[in-house]
Structure 1
Amino acid sequence: MSFPDAVLQIDGNPPVHMDPATPAIQQDGSNARLELPEPYENSNRVIAYLSKRGISRDVIDFCLKTGRLYESRMYHNAIFVGFDLQGTPRYAAIRGTTKTRYMGEAPGSDKRYSFAIPADDNGTELHLFESAIDLLSYCTLSEISGKVWRQSHQLSLAGIYSPKENKDEGIAPAALTNYLQSYPEVEHMVLHLDNDEPGRSAAAMIQQLLSQTYEISDEPPVRKDVNDDLMIYRKQREEPTR
């Protein structure tokens, strides 16, 4: 039994189901090999799961059509893929679509290339999130408000970014550093990290490290994360008027 499965069993939860990998893709300049889970013939369960999380079908379809999202064959997990500038998969976040709520990464994932949606036309604004689902939630909220969300860059940090206690030794997240190098047209960053102590600490560190070079706005979610904000908005819209 794997360590994650052992922990889940101790907690009284069913084991996590991991997908068998498709043939690995060699990463440039690295011995690590990204092992993507084999895709299923359709992504119906992933679509249903993300729809329940409030994500717009237009946003979901965009990710499916561009290969950024698919459903794994064995356990029907949601796979969020990150690419390099040549369009080669370099990272994959795995999200369970069942009650286990499993979250992990495909073996060989390189966090420098975490899940992202670049701007459609050399946009100068970059929105930053902790997870792929928060990113898609923001795109959905933007769509609802009438904004064209493809005009700006969207990047997930692939988890909580924990700065060092000694702020003088802090470094920016690898995914953010690599993205800024890949898209030098970015001038303005908008932070949507979680509204909790780790998220606020990470946002403060990013501002300290990069505010001399970039214009940075801190716009945390009202609730814990962006998807919580979206779910509450959807619920309020669906409640009958009294």
Structure 2
Amino acid sequence: MRSNRPYVQIDPDVLERVRQIDLLSYLRAYEPSNLVKVKGTTNVYCTAEHDSLKISNGKWYWWSRGFGGYSALDYLMKVKEYGFVEAVEILTGQALADWKPSIPAPKKDEPKVLLLPPKNKDCDRVTEYLFGRGIDYSLIQECVADGTIYESADYHNAVFVGKDKDGTPRYAACRGTMGSFRLDASGSDKRYSFRLLADKPASSVHLFEAAIDLLSYATYLKCEGKDYKGENLLSLSGVYQPKKELKDSTIPIALSTFLKANPQIKTLYLHLDNDNTGRRCTAALKVLLQKDYEIVDAPPPVGKDVNDFLLSYLGIGQQKTHRERGDAR
């Protein structure tokens, strides 16, 4: 069903409305016979065509294929394999040729509405998972206590929460405790990525690709007898892709937001991965920021990422590959 149509510019207002349509609402309206409630649950559904495609709490995941999404648009393109234009036409009930272009209204800088997954009654599975990756137990408990880490009630994912200066959750990364599932919660604002901030003014910040790497570094500092609470530790919510010309790249929004809010920062420590992507991102940040900051390239001395290094440092054998364990951004 892939489309070979030429590029078509879609009215931004129409596209935004389409992207807000969740899969459950779409199936109830357009494919009711394809919607099946999973027995023994209160709000979990699957499709008659694919019983491993589960729908719950505003998102869906096709377990047998290892991918998912939130919107009906994602479903039509990834599962039904419609082209983008056809999927939009289905959701609007209108052919693109019939659309009349409208003058887009000025965009308002309105905060995103974060839809956090429901919390599980305890955090046992996530605690076991993180402890198995070498993360300090008391550090895990501190994060659980302040609500920056919890276990979701639906799939028992680890949820890493980023908060704004007022302590309001603005970002959440959901990561499977088994397998490679990873998905940011709907409405996540990457400006407020997962972080542990210094308990007193500090002139430096340590940067990591993933929440797991951040927690691994904090654990390493504790093992070395150093106070991780005296450091700013910031996850970039995954690594961005620099442009071919590094000087034309942009600074990750989590970092630019943090630097703007913390003008006292003078030094950036880059603990990015030892792979092509991590090295290229490090090079881009050096080019973009070296005029205003001291940049210290500090990749993990052992392994691909900081968690690999921690496991080696602790003498913990790695029995799972990165894909199997699912790195948390």
TM-score scaled by structure 2? 0.64
State whether residues 91 and 114 of structure 1, in contact with CA within 8 Å, keep that contact through their aligned partners in structure 2. yes
State whether residues 54 and 234 of structure 1, in contact with CA within 8 Å, keep that contact through their aligned partners in structure 2. yes
1:21 — aligned with what? Answer: none
The alpha-carbon distance between structure 1 residues 17 and 45, as it changes in their structure 2 partners (threshold 3 A), is farther
Residue 66 (structure 1) shift: 1.6
- Post-superposition Cα deviations, 1:113-134, rounded to whole Å, max 9, x if no partner, equal 1101111101111000000000
- Post-superposition Cα deviations, 1:144-199, rounded to whole Å, max 9, x if no partner, equal 01110111100001112211112231111100000111222211110000000100
Aligned partners of 1:53, 1:16: CA distance in 2, in Å? 25
1:201 — aligned with what? Answer: 280
Identity of aligned residues (%): 43
Residue 4 (structure 1) shift: 8.3
2:222 — aligned with what? Answer: 143
State whether residues 85 and 182 of structure 1, in contact with CA within 8 Å, keep that contact through their aligned partners in structure 2. no
Question: Looking at both structures, which has the greater relative contact order when contacts are Cα pairs under 8 Å and sequence separation is at least 6?
Answer: 1
**One-letter identity of the residue aligned with 1:91:** Y
Aligned partners of 1:36, 1:188: CA distance in 2, in Å? 33
| CA RMSD between the two structures | 2.3
Equivalent positions of 1:82-231 (< 5 A) are 82-98=162-178, 100-222=179-301, 223-231=303-311
Aligned partners of 2:248, 2:121: CA distance in 1, in Å? 47
State whether residues 91 and 111 of structure 1, in contact with CA within 8 Å, keep that contact through their aligned partners in structure 2. yes
Residue 92 (structure 1) shift: 0.3
State whether residues 60 and 69 of structure 2, in contact with CA within 8 Å, keep that contact through their aligned partners in structure 1. no
Structure 1 residue 9 corresponds to structure 2 residue 88 = no
- Name the SS for the 1:150 alignment partner: helix
2:159 — aligned with what? Answer: 79
**One-letter identity of the residue aligned with 2:161:** V
State whether residues 90 and 110 of structure 1, in contact with CA within 8 Å, keep that contact through their aligned partners in structure 2. yes
- Name the SS for the 2:138 alignment partner: helix
TM-score scaled by structure 1? 0.86
Residue 32 (structure 1) shift: 3.0
- Name the SS for the 1:176 alignment partner: helix
Structure 1 residue 44 corresponds to structure 2 residue 124 = yes
Residue 69 (structure 1) shift: 0.6
The alpha-carbon distance between structure 1 residues 5 and 204, as it changes in their structure 2 partners (threshold 3 A), is same
Residue 62 (structure 1) shift: 1.7
Which of structures 1 and 2 has the bigger CA Rg?
2
**One-letter identity of the residue aligned with 1:76:** H
- Name the SS for the 2:217 alignment partner: helix
The alpha-carbon distance between structure 1 residues 57 and 16, as it changes in their structure 2 partners (threshold 3 A), is farther
- Post-superposition Cα deviations, 1:98-119, rounded to whole Å, max 9, x if no partner, equal 2x23111000101111101111
Q: Which runs of 5+ in 2 are unaligned?
A: 1-52, 71-107, 318-329
Aligned pairs, number = 223
- Name the SS for the 2:165 alignment partner: coil
State whether residues 17 and 75 of structure 1, in contact with CA within 8 Å, keep that contact through their aligned partners in structure 2. no
- Name the SS for the 1:9 alignment partner: coil
The alpha-carbon distance between structure 1 residues 176 and 228, as it changes in their structure 2 partners (threshold 3 A), is same
State whether residues 134 and 316 of structure 2, in contact with CA within 8 Å, keep that contact through their aligned partners in structure 1. no
- Name the SS for the 2:278 alignment partner: helix
